[in-house]
Amino acid sequence: MSRFPATRMRRLRRSPALRRLVQQARLHPSQLVWPLFFTQSGTRQPVDGMPGVHQHPVSDAADIAQRAVGLGLGGVLVFGIPDRKDEVGSAAYDEDGISQEAVRALRAAASHLVVIADTCLCAYTDHGHCGVIKDGRVHNDATLDLLARTAVSQARAGADIVAPSDMMDGRVAAIRAALDSADLSDTVVMAYSAKYASAFYGPFRSAADSAPQFGDRRGYQMDPANSDEALREIALDVEEGADIIMVKPGLPSLDIIQRAKQRFGVPLAAYQVSGEYSAIILAGEHGVMDSTRAMDESLVALRRAGADVIITYAAAEVAERLIGSASES
């Protein structure tokens, strides 16, 4: 590379057209996944601390599905909020449970929409943990069968993808085997592989009513100080049959996204979680930064690091903007 003055880095920054020509990472609606909360009863309710995000009755599903298809979104990610909770999260694997009903309604409204179901027990257990409790601890192996049953019921309801977010060891293999033996070998598994125990999940736990009633999730989610552990988690999930791996939270994990993409070369999703979303939107509402630009910058950074798929609560708004700016130029 020659030096200044032969090399002038600013040459390619001179005009919008030149900048666009050499732009490397881009956002596209087809790579954005929109997380949605569905409740079993009640009306549409705004979620505290997450401006623009709602809990929806299943009767909203058809409109939402049409909007997602109209915007060309990559998919929607369904979270269910059940009416009843118990010790073993039985509403999670009920054929007529809330996530199954929501998946069915979305599927009925839009046959080609990619419908993803979050597979976990925490919103369905009365103690709020992601697995069953034995002797005061979250019991790994006793949880696997329940997760597998949940995934099978979600796939039967019409989910294209099941997304285990519990962080139990061996759950991808258990889910893959259960799907295959239920004649659901085409159902995709998107594993929350590298999931950190993060403060950035704060707003989600009120949205999904899934906060642990005792202790915390550090016995199963990862320590944010560790990176080799994240790569081991991902390697195990790939070996167990995960089709798509996920890293979460997004922006605090750019190093993991980059290493995972380079090492494994499998489709990779990054989740811009509730706290990341809310921090940007609320800062914008307080006039301390431009939330539109901050949102685009955060999401494009995930792409630059190596994410193929981005899960964000802003998916619909961002897609609208992308479509608008494409038609302007």
- Residue 246 binds ligand PBG (CB under 6 A): no
User: Of 114-122, 138-146, 169-177, 224-232, which segment contacts ligand PBG by CB under 6 A?
Assistant: 114-122
Q: How many CA atoms lie within 13 A of 311 on its CB side?
A: 26
Q: Are 67 and 109 in contact (CB under 8 A)?
A: no
Q: Which of 201, 270, 299, 307 touches ligand PBG by CB under 6 A?
A: 201
What letter would DSSP give residue 77? Answer: E
Q: Which of 193, 204, 220, 268 touches ligand PBG by CB under 6 A?
A: 204
Active site residue 248: yes
- Identify which of residues 110 and 165 has a Cβ nearer to ligand PBG in the complex: 165
User: Of 23-31, 99-107, 117-125, 139-147, which segment contacts ligand PBG by CB under 6 A?
Assistant: 117-125
Which residues, including other chains, have CB under 8 Å from residue 219's CB and lie 6 or more apart? 137, 138
Active site residue 261: no
Residue nearest to ligand PBG (CB): 204
Q: Which of 33, 65, 120, 152 touches ligand PBG by CB under 6 A?
A: 120
CA distances for 49 relative to 271, 285, 295, angstroms: 18, 12, 17
Q: Which of 274, 278, 291, 312 touches ligand PBG by CB under 6 A?
A: 274
CA distances for 271 relative to 67, 69, 205, 257, angstroms: 21, 21, 15, 11
DSSP assignment of 71-107 = HT-SEEEEEEE-S--BTT-GGGG-TTSHHHHHHHHHH
Q: Which of 55, 100, 150, 165 touches ligand PBG by CB under 6 A?
A: 165
User: Of 36-44, 170-178, 197-205, 258-266, which segment contacts ligand PBG by CB under 6 A?
Assistant: 197-205
Q: What are phi and psi of 52, to 5 degrees?
A: 90, -5
- Residue 111: how many CB atoms within 10 A of its CB? 9
What does the alpha-carbon distance between residue 88 and residue 169 come to, in Å, rounded to a whole number?
18
**Bridging pattern class, strands 268-271 and 137-138:** unpaired
- Identify which of residues 305 and 311 has a Cβ nearer to ligand PBG in the complex: 311
Active site residues: 195, 248
Q: Give residues in contact with ligand PBG (CB under 6 A).
A: 118, 120, 122, 130, 165-166, 201, 204-205, 210, 217, 273-274
